[in-house]
Chains A and B, each alone.
Chain A
């Protein structure tokens, strides 16, 4: 049995616009999404902002009713058997909200444990264990309001593990965390993975998805546009190499010239303080470098690297938006 099965799920939001002339506008958040997640698998859901990741997760966690299609979690329909599903899942929506800031960390957990129907004698042991697992040992008596963002997000992980669910939904759990915090967080996720939990993770950090996921579905505009293992996805771009060029204030005309080159598959630009990194995807590998440099003549250029494509390059090519 698959832990999660999603069949042609669709969700439309109806938004009211205007104060005086109220009219209804329909927004399709999830158009048509299908996938399965096997038991014990860590499944990544990747996509740009607004692609429909969170909406999908909310439908699977029984917080939204789908407009069409169906889904089962642990073999139970998420609409008809909402309450059954709730007993078996845990979920986190990234960010600091969703906790009682005026209560201590321990009290938050005690409260949620009671709502999950965890026996007090069990939760008495489980809460310290979980606080240790997420690296909050010794901080349980402090008010959550005083926690750092990373601590709050880790408390969410503890919260969602209180009833020892088999299936976890983590919606952008590392969003807004500093690099160190995010890494610690990923270690917690790896830990859960080793406990054979089924995890559905959404993120827009590519390396995170690459490092953690067994399989990934890339969604864009409410549809799945690719689904494979990370290495499988990278095969989509195995014909490509990436030329990374460090520039300092490259002009628009130079960039236009670069884009116009026939062998340039796509060009994306990352800003890093005063310099920019031009990422040129090309099928010609190192041979492309001289022509790239010619196109950039007259611009201040730093380091140039030719490298293998990453998951991010695959994503850029598939989503096609960032060029």
Chain B
């Protein structure tokens, strides 16, 4: 498909996002993944990094928020199509004139927006429970980075979902994919700690650039050219993801109609 559809269908994207927020927000597991798990990781990290001094509290808030963003993308966005299959709604969605990518984009938008709550809840935790006064070093740049990061996460999620659908065996690695990304993207500690050979892998993952720029603009004074470089990387990766995703969706939908896997029975 061509992504001008996203503009043509902007209203649909918003409706899809609204409805998936409404359905998911009563789901215990979703609440856990976006609020409780990041909060627990934040508590742990605050205890562990207490002696580091400096701006570690803000660092933990941003880092644990990122873990929530990734986990929800992995589990919620990754499974969103499967859930539709179980509830029998996938056939209706496919049998509609709206391109399927538009629907999934809307769903991912909802997931990413709701997982911003991860950051908010970690922030509240640090401010209220631990009593830190938290300030952003470069607020404007931080929020622009956050906005671009959300877009990058959504696009990254677009490539994951069809892969999970087509290759169920890949999806079974889901659990094993949660923590490696926390590690390799430098959410809560710098990747300099890792063996050198992992560095190129980090560079290839959009969440790494998100983490770098978000940490840099919240706890340090990141030079503008570095911030811009991170933004550029995220945007380039997003565009690549969009191209890949559109091919994957095409293959996936055709394959599902050949293999009769749109419904569970």
Q: Do chains A and B touch in the complex (CB under 8 A)?
A: yes
Residue of B23, B87, B92, B257 near A112 (CB, 8 A) is B92
Q: Is the CB of A86 within 8 A of B97?
A: yes
Q: What 0/1 readout, one digit per residue, does chain A (106-125) give for beta carbons within 8 Å of chain B?
A: 01001110111100100000
- The closest CB in chain A to the CB of B26 belongs to A102
Residue of B19, B254, B259 near A100 (CB, 8 A) is B19
Q: Is the CB of A103 within 8 A of B96?
A: no
Q: What 0/1 readout, one digit per residue, does chain B (1-45) give for beta carbons within 8 Å of chain A?
A: 000000001011001100100110010000000000000000000
Decide if A62 is an interface residue (CB 8 Å cutoff). yes
Chain B residues with CB under 8 A of A63: 91, 94-95, 257, 262
Q: What 0/1 readout, one digit per residue, does chain B (152-184) give for beta carbons within 8 Å of chain A?
A: 000000000000000000000000000000000
Q: Is the CB of B254 within 8 A of A65?
A: yes
Known: A63-B257, A65-B257. Is A114-B11 also a contact (CB below 8 A)? yes
**Cα distance, A18 to B260, chains bound together (Å):** 19
Q: Which residues of chain A in 64-113 are interfacial with respect to chain B, using CB atoms and an 8 Å cutoff?
A: 64-65, 83, 86-87, 89, 91, 93, 95, 97-103, 107, 110-112
Chain B residues with CB under 8 A of A102: 22-23, 26
Decide if B201 is an interface residue (CB 8 Å cutoff). no
Q: Report the minimal beta-carbon distance from B91 to chain A, rounded to whole angstroms.
A: 5
**Cα distance, A8 to B170, chains bound together (Å):** 38
Q: Is the CB of B95 within 8 A of A115?
A: no
Q: Report the minimal beta-carbon distance from B94 to chain A, rounded to whole angstroms.
A: 6
Decide if B199 is an interface residue (CB 8 Å cutoff). no
**Cα distance, A204 to B22, chains bound together (Å):** 38
**Cα distance, A58 to B15, chains bound together (Å):** 27
Decide if B247 is an interface residue (CB 8 Å cutoff). no
Residue of B19, B26, B88 near A98 (CB, 8 A) is B88
Known: A65-B254, A115-B16. Is A100-B87 also a contact (CB below 8 A)? yes
Residue of B91, B95, B97 near A117 (CB, 8 A) is B97
Chain A residues with CB under 8 A of B15: 110-111, 114-115
Residue count of chain B within 8 Å CB distance of chain A: 27
Q: Is the CB of A97 within 8 A of B97?
A: no
**Cα distance, A83 to B97, chains bound together (Å):** 5
Decide if B258 is an interface residue (CB 8 Å cutoff). yes
**Cα distance, A100 to B18, chains bound together (Å):** 13
Chain A residues with CB under 8 A of B88: 93, 95, 97-98
Decide if B89 is an interface residue (CB 8 Å cutoff). yes
Chain B residues with CB under 8 A of A120: 11
- The closest CB in chain A to the CB of B253 belongs to A82
Chain A residues with CB under 8 A of B258: 64-65
Known: A100-B23, A103-B22. Is A115-B87 also a contact (CB below 8 A)? no
Decide if B242 is an interface residue (CB 8 Å cutoff). no
Decide if B98 is an interface residue (CB 8 Å cutoff). yes
Known: A102-B22, A103-B23. Is A117-B89 also a contact (CB below 8 A)? no
Chain B residues with CB under 8 A of A87: 97
Decide if B234 is an interface residue (CB 8 Å cutoff). no
Decide if B93 is an interface residue (CB 8 Å cutoff). yes
Q: Report the minimal beta-carbon distance from A158 to chain B, rounded to whole angstroms.
A: 13
Residue of A58, A65, A98, A101 near B92 (CB, 8 A) is A98
Q: Is the CB of B96 within 8 A of A99?
A: no
Chain B residues with CB under 8 A of A203: none
Residue of A13, A115, A159 near B260 (CB, 8 A) is A13
Q: Report the minimal beta-carbon distance from A149 to chain B, rounded to whole angstroms.
A: 14
Q: Is the CB of B98 within 8 A of A64?
A: no
Q: Is the CB of A97 within 8 A of B103?
A: no
Q: Report the minimal beta-carbon distance from A156 to chain B, rounded to whole angstroms.
A: 9
- The closest CB in chain B to the CB of A67 belongs to B258
Decide if A61 is an interface residue (CB 8 Å cutoff). yes
Q: Report the minimal beta-carbon distance from A200 to chain B, rounded to whole angstroms.
A: 14
Q: Report the minimal beta-carbon distance from B156 to chain A, rounded to whole angstroms.
A: 24
Chain A residues with CB under 8 A of B94: 62-63
**Cα distance, A65 to B98, chains bound together (Å):** 19
Known: A107-B22, A114-B16, A115-B96. Is A98-B257 also a contact (CB below 8 A)? no
**Cα distance, A41 to B262, chains bound together (Å):** 29
Q: Report the minimal beta-carbon distance from B1 to chain A, rounded to whole angstroms.
A: 10
Q: Is the CB of A86 within 8 A of B92?
A: no
Chain A residues with CB under 8 A of B254: 65
Q: Which residues of chain B in 95-154 are interfacial with respect to chain A, using CB atoms and an 8 Å cutoff?
A: 95-98, 103
Chain B residues with CB under 8 A of A112: 92, 96
Chain A residues with CB under 8 A of B257: 62-65
Q: Is the CB of B22 within 8 A of A86?
A: no
Residue of B22, B87, B96 near A97 (CB, 8 A) is B87
Q: Report the minimal beta-carbon distance from A194 to chain B, rounded to whole angstroms.
A: 25
With most chain A CB atoms within 10 A of its CB, the pick from B87, B91, B259 is B91
Q: Is the CB of B91 within 8 A of A93?
A: yes
Chain B residues with CB under 8 A of A99: 87, 89
Chain A residues with CB under 8 A of B96: 86, 112, 115-116
**Cα distance, A64 to B260, chains bound together (Å):** 6
Q: Report the minimal beta-carbon distance from A55 to chain B, rounded to whole angstroms.
A: 8
Sorted nearest first, the 8 A-B pairs with minimum C-beta distance are A97-B88, A114-B15, A98-B88, A87-B97, A115-B98, A65-B257, A102-B23, A111-B19
Can you list 17 A-B pairs, Cβ within 8 angstroms, ordered by A?
A: A13-B260, A58-B91, A58-B260, A63-B262, A86-B97, A89-B95, A93-B88, A97-B88, A100-B19, A100-B87, A110-B19, A111-B15, A115-B12, A115-B96, A116-B98, A117-B12, A120-B11
